[in-house]
Structure formats: C-alpha cells, structure tokens
Structure 1
Amino acid sequence: MELRQLEAFRAIAETGSFTRAAARLNLTQSAISQQIKALEDELGEPLFARTKRSVKLSPSGEVALRQVDIILSSVRELKGQFQAHRHLACGRLRVAAASQAIAHLFAPFYGEFKKSFSQIELSFRTTISTRETIEEVLANAVDVGFASLPVNSPELEVEPLFEDELALVVGSAHPFARASSVTVERLRSERFILYEPGTSIRQTTDSFFQQAQLAPEVAMESNDTDFINGMVKIGLGISFMPRWAVVEDIKRGDLKAVRVKGWKMRRSVAMVWLKRYQPAAVKTFLNFMRAHSKALQKRASGLIE
C-alpha cells in the first residue's frame, strides 16, 4: 500500500470522477486507474461502484475513506511539524570518546553544547580505546566518535580536529622535577606507570620506546587517569600522559611535566561518523566542534611552552 494510492483514492471520492481526479493530481487517467486497481487488489474489496455516468463509493469504499482521511491527515501533520522546525535541530545525539578525554578534555564543550542546544538529547558512551570507539560508530551504537589517527575504514567520514602531545610526568619530589628536560638515557633506570595496551596513548608511548630503543621497566598499567596521577604523585613511578589530563595537578605543584630532549610525542585526534545522511542533531554537533576547534586545541596543548 502506497501513499500515492491513498491520495488517488481520496481524489476520486471527492471529485466523483477518475478524469477529474487525474487532472487534480497531474496524472494520466490510466495511471490513476492502475493505482486504484492495485489498492483494491491489496484490500480484496471494490472501493467504487462504477457506472457509465458516475463513480460512487462502495460500502467498503466508505469505510476505507474514513481511515484514509485519518492517515493522510496524520501525514500532513507530520510534514508540518518537520517543516516548522526544519531550522531547529532536535532529537537524540550519541557521542563516544575515551573516558579520560570526556572527563578532562571535552566536558566543558559538552556542557556548553547542552546549554546552547537544549532541545538535543546528548548522551555519552565511554570507551577504553580508539578501536572500541570505531567499533561503536560502525555498529551505529553512537553517532559521533573521537578517535586518534590513523583511522582506516571506507565506511567512515574522518575529520581531524586537534593535536595533543604526551608529556613525561613526574611527582614533585622526583629528581626530574627540578629539570625542564631530560635525555632518553636518564629514563633507562626509571619505573613507568603506563596506560594499558590497546589505548592510543599506550600505542604512542610504545612507539616512542621502540624508536628510542628503550625497554621500560613497567611498574603498573591502568586506564584510570586519576589512579596514574595518584601513583606518580607518591613516587611509585613516572608516566607519559596527555597535557590536558594533568593541568590542575601541575598548577597545584603536585606534578611536573618534563620534556624528553629531541622527542615530541604527538597524536592527531579526529571526529568520525558513518558515511550516510546525518540528521540535524549530528550536523549541529559537528559544526559546533568545528567552531570550537581552536579552543579545544588550546586546552589540549597548553602545559609546556
């Protein structure tokens, strides 16, 4: 059953003529006759009593017309609602990112987005790795994900948004805390508290260890940024962490960010979403993040000048 069949049926009922109904709908008489035949075949009842001079509703047609009026009225109301709000984004929006990024990096922007677009229901899904974020987007479990590059999937749109840099983070009582930078050689005797394997931070860290030909002594592994902070503060090891994750600790003097001479450990972070038509809520969020990319970049990279 198609909407055009119902529109043809009502036009004939109102005009009492296949010819006049066809003219109203800009169809040929043959086309409108085929639509009514298909509708009658599907319903299993004749909808019109046809004579040489007139076309009248059959008893079944009278019953059908009441329902068709309700259906077409509902369709018209639905169209009107969307046309009235076509410039106003609304609906549900699902975003995924690593838990530490949501808590320490994106939270202020999400808060501003919710204030600016209160009609959009924004929800979050935390992930432990870029791989999990990508899987969530591909499974349509979320609308937009934030993931470290590279992201290779023909099904996804990938738009770089900002870069961040991992800093060597030590406790305030550690000998490195008195230096602005250290050499790779001085790291060989240190114990490290690292993010767990599979996370983008750990992948960047492991790449550094490999290139620097450094076999780290791993004291602990965790995906809990606050836990790593706490362990580094009390001197159980040192860590490589995103600058944005330790801003407040450095301001308080609990931690110190130190450069490794000759090395910069950078990551590019992108927005990812499925290659398909996106609803207004998703487009609004993407444009919001683009508009705030400079502020996001500043927040992500403001610890060490």
Structure 2
Amino acid sequence: MNLHALRLFHHVAELGSVTKAAELLKISQPAVTSQIKKLERELGLPLFSPLGRGILLTDAGMTLAQESARLFALEKHIEQSIEDYRAGYAGRLRVAATYLPANFLLPRGIAGFKRKFPDVDIQFTTTSSLNATDHLLRYEADIAFIGGLRNSHPSLEKTHWYEDEMWFVVHKDHKLASSEAVLAEVVKEPFVYREQGSYSREQLLSLCRVQRLNAPTVGLQMNGFSELIRVVSEGYGVAFLSALEAREEVERGNLRRIYVQDAVMNNPVFLCHRKEPLPPHALRFLETIPRNNSG
C-alpha cells in the first residue's frame, strides 16, 4: 500500500475536504485527488461517494479512515517517544553500585530524578566492586558507582566521583574514644571486620603492612554494615570504615572517633561506564546526582 497516498486520504477524511487537506499539506488539489484515485485502484474499492461540492466516505472508506487514524496516531506516538528518548526524558537506565554509594550517595538523587523524569525506568543493583565491573562488561549495567576501586578494566572509563574519609570508631566509653593515637596503639585492640575482600578490611591490612605492624586481632567478622555498627555501638571492638557509614552514629553520640595521626586515608568512589557514548537519560541522571570531587 502506498503510504503517501494513504496519508493524503487520512487528511481528506479527517478534514472532510480535499481543499482543506491540500492547503494543510501545501500541495495542489489535483495532486491530492490523483493520489486518492490511485489508492482506490490499488485497493479495488471506492473510498468516497460524490456529494455535491463535499465528500462522503463509503463503508470501505470509513473502515480505512478508522484504521489510518490509528496508524498515524501510532506514528505520532513513536515520533514523540523517540524525541523523549533523545531529550533524556525516557528510556531504561541500569545502575550498579557498591554498598557505600548505594546507601549514602545515590538515594536522594534517584528520588529527585524520578520525580522529575518519571518515564525513565531505573533498574538498580547493589553489588560488589567486582560484580559491578562485570555487569558493565556484560552490558547488564549502563553505569556503575564503585567505592575503593583499585584497578579498572581497559574497556571501561573511570571518573572520580566522590571522596570520603576512613575513620576508626569505638564505643563512646572506650578508652581510646575521642583520643589522638598512633596506629601501633590502635591495632592492639580487637577489631570488628567486614568480610574478606572488603575495601575497609583490605586498606587496614595495607596500612599495617606499610608500617610493619601485625594485623589487628579479628574480634568479630560481620558481613553486614548495620550489624558491624550495632556491635561496636554496644561496646565491643574497633571498626575501620567510611565516614559516611559512621557519621550518623558519631553525631548521635553512640560512637566516638579515634584520631589516628599516622593512618589518614580516604575512600574514593568512581563512576564507571563502557568507553562509548552514554544514552541521553544517563547523562541527565548524572546531572542530578550530588558529587564531591575533592581529595
């Protein structure tokens, strides 16, 4: 079927006039009439009945008018959908993040973004740094926020996104609470560790190796941040963790910092994505997420 002729027919049927359709489309009336006659010959059906100076749709014409209206309404919908995608107002955004950005850096930005751009479908995954990288490489994520990333894959672009401090914290009544100390003194205390392979644990062990100190005793190992904070808040051990994770309990007075002068360390968070252009909605998303590029 000739879609150009069908489009002309649609406008004539919608406006009820060849003249009005020709004026709208800025073509001659004979050109419109000629195309519609060709469409009638192609279909083998009359579409209009003569009615003085007006037009009257036949039954076949009414059927075709209804279906063509649906077709061209769908065309407009498709065009609008593509325009919304190009403008970053719609699309699917798959985000992977490690624990720190997932829980402390991204929630407010995600909520604000969804209020502003409700037609962007965000699929969010909290995972390890290794798995976040794998999600990108397997095209299962569009962007990833990774804390404490040591090395990135050569196929990925890495941008510094946020810089946080690492803190030593203890219960408010601990003998080292709010004191200044050196690492050699602090590591004599039992520690509450995160799981093996976690950034905080690896960095603490690295500090000990650099200063040729024995690693602290593993008083407890906790796989979850909430459990770790709760144990230390109840009065057991020392924790080494990100300031973002500990700040709320420190401000409440449940925990106190130990100011370890020879063990100052930061915890960087990186934005990672494949070395290819990001979709428009991903760029809009990144504009809404607060960042701190200090450090």
Give the TM-score, by structure 1 length. Answer: 0.67
Give the whole-Å Cα distance in 1 for the aligned partners of 2:122 and 2:203.
30
Q: Is the 1:105–1:245 contact (alpha carbons within 8 Å) kept by the matching residues of 2?
A: no
Q: Which amino acid aligns with 2:228?
A: I
Match of 1:173 in 2: 173
Residue in structure 1 matched with residue 251 of structure 2 by the alignment: 251
User: In the alignment, is the contact (CA less than 8 A) between 1:204 and 1:267 conserved in 2?
Assistant: no
Letter in structure 2 aligned against 1:293:
R
1:58-115 CA-to-partner distances (Å, cap 9, x unmatched) read: 99xxxxxx9xx99x96667523542366434212222121234322333222222222
Task: Name which of structure 1's ranges 113-122 and 137-146 shifts more when overlaid on structure 2.
Answer: 113-122
- 1:168-247 matches, within 5 Å, as 168-179=168-179, 181-214=180-213, 215-247=215-247
Gaps of 5+ in 2: 8-40, 45-63
CA contact 1:193–1:237 (8 Å) conserved in 2: yes
Change (3 A) 1:189 1:262: closer
Residue pair 1:100, 1:224 contacting (<8 A) in 2 also: no
- Rounded to whole Å, the distance in 2 between the matches of 1:224 and 1:85 is 38
CA distance in 2 between partners of 1:229 and 1:287 (Å): 32
Q: Which residue of 2 aligns with 1:17?
A: none
SS at match of 2:173: coil
Bigger shift: residues 167-176 or 101-110? 101-110
Q: Matched residues in 2 for 1:251 and 1:77: separation?
A: 52
* Contact 2:194–2:201 under 8 Å retained in 1: yes
* Shift in Å, 1:267: 2.4
The correspondence of residues 275-286 of structure 1 with structure 2, limited to 5 A, is 275-286=275-286
Please tell me whether the aligned partners of residues 165 and 265 of structure 1 are also in contact (alpha carbons under 8 angstroms): yes
What is the CA–CA distance in structure 2 between the aligned matches of 1:104 and 1:241, rounded to whole Å? 13
Deviations 1:134-172 (A, max 9, x none): 112212222211113333212212111111111001111
Distance in 2 of aligned mates of 1:217 and 1:140: 41
Distance 1:117 1:10 in 2: 35
Q: Secondary structure at the match of 1:246?
A: helix
In structure 2, distance between residues paired with 1:11 and 1:89? 31
Q: State the percentage of identical aligned residues.
A: 24
Q: Give the aligned residue type for 1:223.
A: N
Secondary structure of the corresponding residue to residue 287 of structure 1: helix
Distance 1:13 1:254 in 2: 74
Distance 1:172 1:227 in 2: 17
Once residues 242 and 85 of structure 1 are traced to their aligned partners in structure 2, the CA distance between those partners, rounded to angstroms, is 37
Provide Cα deviations, 1:7-35, integer angstroms capped at 9, x if missing partner.
xx868999xxxxxxxxxxxxxxxxxxxxx
Contact 1:94 1:143 in 2 (8 A): yes
1:34-49 map, 5 Å: none
Q: What is the distance in 2 between the residues matched to 1:84 and 1:149?
A: 34
* Runs of 4+ displaced beyond 4 Å: 9-14, 56-59, 72-77
Q: Contact conserved, 1:194 with 1:202, CA < 8 A, in 2?
A: yes
Offset of residue 272 of structure 1? 0.7
The one-letter code matched in structure 1 to 2:229 is N
Residue identity matched to 1:169: V
Q: Is the 8 A contact 1:97 1:133 kept in 2?
A: yes
Mapped partners of 1:84, 1:96: distance in 2: 24
CA distance in 2, matches of 1:11, 1:109: 46
**What is the one-letter code of the residue matched to 1:103?**
N
- Paired with 2:229 and 2:80, the residues of 1 have a C-alpha distance of 54
Measure the CA separation in 1 of the matches of 2:105 and 2:83: 36
SS in 1 for 2:106: helix
In the alignment, is residue 154 of structure 1 matched against residue 147 of structure 2?
A: no
Task: Return closer, same or farther for 1:188/1:268 CA change in 2, 3 Å cut-off.
Answer: closer
Counterpart of 1:19 in structure 2 is none
The one-letter code matched in structure 2 to 1:209 is C
Is 2:291 the partner of 1:293? yes
How many angstroms does 1:258 deviate by? 1.8
